[in-house]
């Protein structure tokens, strides 16, 4: 590995600074060694543990009660007394 990569992090200080500097992260920010480590983590499934499953709103029970107008805007529901 590169000499500037510390033992606790697979990312170099330079890469960490690039990530912290802006809202977007690019694969191109990684050094050749970091890219290898990233691709190895993807292939092994190690990164899949960090991704939270997503539940689409339209599969939730509350989605059954949503009504829309012809224009696609949500209709106002009267409050139950």
- Confidence (pTM): 0.47
| Boundaries of domain holding 25 | 13-65
Domain contains 80: no
**9 confidence band (pLDDT: 50, 70, 90):** low
Would the pLDDT of 8 be above 60? no
Domain contains 33: yes
Domain contains 42: yes
Query: CA-to-CA distance for 31 and 61, rounded, in angstroms?
Result: 46
**Number of structural domains found in the chain:** 1
Strand partners, 68: 74
Would the pLDDT of 2 be above 80? no
Domain contains 5: no
The CA dihedral of 81, 75, 58, 47, to the nearest 10 degrees, is -100
Could you report the per-residue pLDDT of 20-44, keeping only the tens digit for each? 887 888 888 888 998 998 899 889 9
Domain contains 23: yes
Instruction: Tell me the residue length of the chain.
Output: 81
Looking at per-residue pLDDT, the higher value among 1 and 70 belongs to 70
Domain contains 1: no
The CA dihedral of 36, 37, 39, 42, to the nearest 10 degrees, is 170
Domain contains 27: yes
Domain contains 30: yes
Phi-psi region of 72 (alpha: psi -120 to 50; beta: other; left: phi over 0): left
11: tokens are 């990312």
């Amino acid at each position: 590995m590169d000499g500037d990569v510390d033992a606790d992090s697979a990312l170099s200080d330079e890469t960490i600074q690039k990530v912290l500097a802006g809202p977007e992260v690019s694969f191109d920010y990684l050094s050749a060694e970091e890219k290898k480590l990233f691709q190895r983590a993807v292939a092994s499934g190690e990164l899949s543990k960090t991704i939270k499953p997503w539940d689409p709103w339209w599969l939730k029970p509350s989605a059954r009660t949503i009504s829309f107008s012809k224009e696609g805007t949500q209709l106002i529901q009267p409050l139950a007394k």
